[in-house]
Amino acid sequence: MGAGGDAVPQDEDVVRARVDPSVTSIPTNAFWGRKKLAEVELCEGLVEIGTDSFRWCDRSITKINIPNSLRRINDYAFAGSLRTPICLHDCIESIGEFALAGCIFTNFRVPLFITVIPDGMLYNCKLMFSLELSENIREIRYAAFQNCSCLRNVAIPPNAILGDDIFIEMTDLQRLFGSEARIIRELRHRFDGLPIHKLVYYQSYYDGVLQKVIDAMNTRSIQSRTLRSKLDPTGNHQDCLGMTPLHILACSSVHDLELYRVIVEKYPTNLITEDRWGALPLLYAFWGAAPNEIIHFLVECYESLYPGYVFNWTMMVETMGQCDTPKERIEILLCVREIHFPEQPLDWEYLLNEFAQPSNFHRSDYTFNGAPFRERMQFLFICGMSDRVEALPFKFGVITSQT
């Protein structure tokens, strides 16, 4: 695609597209409905992605870069098109209505200087389990997160003005709180009295968080003639979602190994504390594609600190499978189990029966009759029949966390 958009591919079967560096704005409808478009290269110099530019590509886009020059993503720009995580940098100034609706994310971070979440921005992002919102957000508008059925890790800035139907069809949150009103109330006050949890949730937005967390861990108490440091016990507490600081960190879009080290050193029981869905921090690290060094670190901590702990591998595979998690991430989980915990049980018969039931695909019904469902069933069948992951063509030491 060249300057002025005069070379936008007209072929509906186009698979790859490169936007020339001379282009500063992708025009309206430029790649609308290109259902085979898989790779998009955006060059530095691009400032704006126009309305409907990549709309209705049938979630076909599996590779796209966001240049540092980008400032605006307009209405419906990627609606129903992205099948890959994207990292939106903090120089982005605006995101339009329904711009990312129906895309496939697992965790998503809203850029720092976005202060208004527009109507339907992440509507129907059914597979997203973690959402980071900065404290700068002053308004969240109509249906911004509606039908994000897997969403678990999120906090509402206490002073943000909220529109209607933001937390409708939130399956996992509704399981805990029932009504939208209670979801809002609990999430507004999620970090009340929990300074370490709060710092970890907002860590991607601020510099020097590691030192701030260390300072927050060490409260001061007056004892006789001296001031003595005392470990803040709230680091072992669970918030309204049952999450510890380690859960929140494992859900994050940013992973700082030193921050993991500090939390585990000071609060080791975070490792074996289950949240209100019965999930450990390790599950969220697998689910959110944490870097290999983080997975390695957590596994080593379990082996050294809690060598007899038995994981619920069946639940972890079931949770990730129900949410259409890319099978590469499930492969990593299975590989870790085979190498480090080979004697621990995994109920393949239950999983195969569970995933074979159409009623269990309410979260991802748009893929039930398509290739993703067939691929997942084939993958589970191969694993279940052999019950030995070494037959699969991967090893933990060489896999990557990219999808």
The per-residue pLDDT for 383 is 65
Contacts of 214 (CB under 8 A, 6+ apart): 262
* pTM, to two decimals: 0.88
CA 233 to chain centre: 28
Q: What share of the chain is helix, strand, coil (3-state, %, to 5)?
A: 35, 10, 55
Closest CA to 60 of 89, 28, 36: 36
The per-residue pLDDT for 401 is 41
Closest CA to 361 of 175, 171, 183, 178: 171
Question: Phi/psi of residue 142, each to 5°?
Answer: -45, 130
Q: Where do the domains of the chain lie, and which CATH numbers do they carry?
A: 195-391 (1.25.40.20)
Handedness of CA 336, 341, 342, 347 (dihedral sign): negative
Q: 70-128: per-residue pLDDT in tens?
A: 999 999 999 999 988 899 999 999 999 999 999 998 999 999 999 999 999 999 999 99
The per-residue pLDDT for 377 is 57
The per-residue pLDDT for 364 is 45
Task: Specify the DSSP class assigned to residue 163.
Answer: -
Q: Give the Cα separation of 75 and 97 in Å (integer).
A: 5
The per-residue pLDDT for 389 is 47
Handedness of CA 173, 175, 176, 179 (dihedral sign): positive
Q: Give the Cα separation of 54 and 107 in Å (integer).
A: 21
Positions of the chain with pLDDT under 50: 3-5, 222, 224, 362-371, 388-403
Decide: residue 234, CB within 10 A, 0-12 exposed, 13-18 middle, 19+ buried: buried
For β-strands 116-117 and 63-64, DSSP reports them as: unpaired
The per-residue pLDDT for 101 is 97
Decide: residue 40, CB within 10 A, 0-12 exposed, 13-18 middle, 19+ buried: buried
| Euclidean distance between the first and the last CA atom of the chain, given in angstroms as a whole number | 26
∠ CA 388-392-397 to the nearest 5 degrees? 100
